A and B are shown apart, each in its own frame.
Chain A
Amino acid sequence: MSPFRVVTLGCAVVAIGLALRATPMPSPPAADPAVLTRLASELLAQEPTWRRAARQQFPGDQWSQDDAFHNVEQITVRVRAARAGVSVGELFDALDRDLRVHPGTRLVHAVPCKPRPFYD
């Protein structure tokens, strides 16, 4: 085998090795369910305010309103999760559980995706 091929194969092996040996950033430990429930309740209490703001931001545009709501939701979830030392996924899961425990109390149906004609 030519030395150039050895170099090529070596680079491929190093690349695969780096990808496989890469270590993920540390995750928060599993959260106390009571903490998650409390955080979820706090977030859910703010939903009407976020929905109202989204209606003002995108008057008459249902999908954009829903999308703007979810943007505020995810920003707030990340901030609260970081403050409380819980994972973002766990907090989203807690929100999902609360919606199932209290069905029909909030907007839970799909708002069909209708991307805006303009983004520029």
Chain B
Amino acid sequence: MTQPSTAVTRHGLVASLERLADRRDFRLAIFALLALITCWPMLEQAANFNEFRDAQVLFSYERDAVQSVRDFGELPLWDPGYCGGLYALGTPQSRFAAPFFLLSLLFGAQRAAPLIVFLLLMLGMEGMVRVARPHSPGGLGPLLLAPLEGMFAVSYFNGWVNFFGFELLPWVLVGVASAGRGERRGAVITAASFACIVGFGGTYAGPVAALLASTEGVVALACSVTRAPGLARAFRGLSLAALLSAGASLFRLWPVYETLTTSHRIMAGTPGFGASTLTAALFRPATAVGGNVGFDGAYFFPCLLLVFAPFALLRRRGALWVGLALLGFWTATGYALGASPFTWLRALPLFHMIRYPERFLFVAALFAAAASALGLELVLRALRGRVWASLVAVLAVLMALWSAHQEIQNFHRVTDGMWLSPPPAAEARPFRQARGNRWALGYFGPMQRGSLSCWEAYPVPESPLLRADLAAEEYFADPAQGSVRRLAWSPNQLLLDVDARSAGTLRINQNYHPGWRADAGEVVNEGGLLAVNVPAGHRALRLRFLPRSAVAGGLAALMALLSMIWLWRRRPLRRLSARRGGDVLLAVAPLLVALLVRVVMPEPPPAPPPVTNADGSPAVITSLPADATPTAVRFAEPVELVGFRLPQGLDDVGNARVELFFRVRGEVARDVGVFVHVDSPRGRVAGDHQALSASYYLADLPPGTLIRDAFSVNLRNLRGGPVSVHVGLWRVSGDGTRVPVEDAGSTTMRDDSLELGSFDGR
């Protein structure tokens, strides 16, 4: 790895610019000015309410967290206001578990959002400088441009403030590079920035940070084989960084891990973009039309200084950055070219949650900016002492100014197109669940109403027993068993006056989570609803939400923070402890604390909700239903169609429900899906699908599992006569061919399409 090369003698204009850029106070002043100009329209509109559908949900998470702390003096662990109640730390898109939440507490969630953006833009620019300047002290200009990339403008438009966590990626790289040099401070910077990214939420910035950190770590290890500090110290430094990062972010990683492992979600489809589409996303300005920003300009990066990037290939570090930029672009193509790093990443446990490959365009921009800075530096070095150096420097400054101007204009254009409304009025009254509306969720929180209407990027465990028309939110399942009255309410605690004539089940109109605890009786999961089996008698019952993952993760993070402070205060910061492993032991302590809490604090494991078809019927069954028609069809892939059930006719809106029963016998190719053709004399309706039961790829089904694949098709336009159903397997991507039927049994088959029968289509 190339070390700082500031020893090169500079003269004239280039030297003056460099000296200024070396001054942190100068840089921060420039960054603050740029961030202020960029955020100006957002700040002027800070009092208004973003109506974009995603903003409604993500903003509500932040608002509810602020309310928990400000109004109730509680940590925002449980959010009762959405989906019937969910674990706020465990839902991946909430962003309150980061230091920036202090701004929300101080100024309110609404007004703090642009201030958080202002701060993160500054941090992003300084982070980029720290990544690149050791290798390219002359190239400041390109580095300003990645943090102003169009993705951030679109993110603010959509209310995805948590996407600004990407601004901290450079800090992770800075930390890992430093840790790889055996420096203690590198481990602290890595842990602090990674924990901030994870705490700030989202399912992209964290995994991407881990990926880039791993890459930088491998590079550091490879370099250390032949250079100081040597392989052993580099390994120790990186281990320290990894352990501290895990400990510092456990408060969020653990709850999110629990959520995502218990909520089965399938990411189907083969998203991808051709090079021309991605180029348009990078180099055309964005426009907001009809409440949406199109894909053109969604990653706007009009960096004229990219012309210097090829010169970076003259250095190993530059070649790495150019390679990573190209790799980022290739990853962003997704499945468009058949295969890309995105398709391979999706096979990894953490990365299967990533749906949109185009987000890697930011990674491409980040490394392209760093390569441009290095390329510029090399050009200036080559021209050292000539008048051309000053001319190139002036040209580079002008190019940087033009590019920054374009990006800031893009920010303004996009944010000017936001759909804003006056903030809803707040009402002080008891909290109750309402039917709600996730598209307009932001209106319900201030009214002290929850929304049962729910959308998230994962299937939220939500009880079908939740109701929006109850006379009281707490009630006995059997009203004859007693009465209950609410004495006190807060998001994490309920105090109830319970008068039970006999032992019975008290229901709370919120979702169950194993982190709920009661001081009397036993908390139980009643069809997904929070309930308490209470003994007979009259008592005050206190329910409290205190999940083990929050306690263990919180203590681990606290311990990690103390370790980081201790490590930071020790001198010299640039060296690890003289005692072999002393620092690493300090970094292990938070994880040991978490382990200890896990042992001493009992909690039932989170129960995954049953996997169902989209119509609510169970997906996994043990035997073929009695009224299904058995078949014995075998395909060239190890899949059997063991039965089916066709409807008698259409329902009142013209829907026909079909059930197919599949069993997998071995490893099935990933791209195999089901085709369904419903034919009538009036035409055909297709019901093709890749995800069986809207839940599983055939490739993911454990061998031997019998699955009910229930789906419906709407045939209102084909009404009139008999309707026949043909099914089979096909390759969804690739050549699109049908999977041959090896044995159709007694089922009629033609061209590898099975005719299951017909029904009345009137």
Contacts and interface: CB of A to CB of B under 8 A. Distances in A.
Interface string B597-613: 00000000000010011
A109 interface: yes
Contacts of A24: 47-49, 422-423
A120 B111 contact: no
Contact of A89 (B112, B447, B457): B447
A115 B29 contact: no
A7 B694 contact: no
For the residues of A in contact with B, the DSSP-based class is helix
A119 B355 contact: yes
A45 interface: no
B456 interface: yes
B268 A118 contact: yes
A111 B453 CA distance: 7
B28 interface: yes
A15 B46 CA distance: 10
Contact of A99 (B118, B469, B615): B469
A22 B459 contact: no
A70 interface: yes
B438 A70 contact: yes
B730 interface: no
Contacts, number: 221
A22 B29 contact: no
Interface in B441-455: 443-444, 446-447, 449, 452-455
A99 B29 CA distance: 56
A95 B447 CA distance: 13
**Most chain A CB within a 10 A radius of its CB, from B23, B39, B437, B466:** B437
Given A59-B655, A60-B711, A119-B269, A92 B452 contact: no
B431 interface: no
A80 interface: no
Contacts of B690: 117-118
Given A67-B438, A74-B437, A114-B612, A18 B46 contact: yes
Contacts of A14: 36
A99 B456 contact: no
Contacts of A59: 653, 655-657, 711-714
A79 interface: no
A115 B355 contact: no
A60 B421 contact: no
A74 B451 CA distance: 13
**Most chain A CB within a 10 A radius of its CB, from B43, B111, B269, B457:** B43
Contacts of A16: 107, 115
B465 A109 contact: yes
**Most chain B CB within a 10 A radius of its CB, from A18, A52, A93:** A18
B323 interface: no
B26 interface: yes
A110 to B, nearest CB: 4
Interface string B407-449: 0000000000000111111000000001101111001101101
B463 interface: yes
Interface residues of A, number: 61
A2 B25 contact: yes
Given A4-B23, A61-B615, A110 B43 contact: no
Interface string B385-398: 00000000000000
A19 B269 contact: no
A63 to B, nearest CB: 7
B83 interface: yes
Contacts of B521: none
A22 B111 contact: yes
A34 interface: no
A60 B45 CA distance: 42
Nearest to B609: A112
Given A19-B112, A88-B440, A92-B443, A114 B46 contact: no
Contact of A20 (B33, B107, B612, B691): B107
Contacts of B29: 4-5, 7-8, 11
B349 interface: no
A117 B438 contact: no
A56 B654 contact: yes
Contacts of A116: 614, 694
Nearest to A97: B434
A22 B44 contact: yes
B347 to A, nearest CB: 17
B114 interface: yes
Given A7-B29, A16-B115, A19-B114, A55 B653 contact: yes
Contacts of A111: 452, 464
Contacts of B219: none
Contacts of B83: 110, 113
Contacts of A114: 459, 612, 614, 694
10 closest A-B pairs (Cβ-Cβ)?
A60-B712, A117-B268, A59-B712, A11-B32, A18-B43, A110-B466, A7-B29, A4-B25, A61-B614, A117-B691
17 contacts: A4-B23, A4-B25, A15-B118, A20-B46, A24-B422, A52-B653, A87-B425, A89-B443, A103-B470, A104-B469, A108-B452, A110-B454, A110-B464, A113-B462, A114-B614, A118-B690, A118-B691
Given A52-B653, A110-B467, A113-B83, 11 more contacts: A4-B26, A14-B36, A15-B114, A16-B107, A63-B614, A99-B468, A109-B467, A115-B456, A116-B694, A117-B267, A117-B269
Interface of A: 2, 4-5, 7-8, 11-12, 14-16, 18-20, 22-27, 52, 55-57, 59-64, 66-67, 70-71, 73-74, 77-78, 87-89, 92-93, 95-96, 99-100, 103-104, 108-120
Interface of B: 23, 25-26, 28-29, 31-33, 35-36, 39-40, 43-49, 83-84, 107, 111-112, 114-115, 118, 265-271, 355, 420-425, 434-435, 437-440, 443-444, 446-447, 449, 452-471, 528, 609, 612-616, 653-657, 690-691, 694-695, 710-714, 716
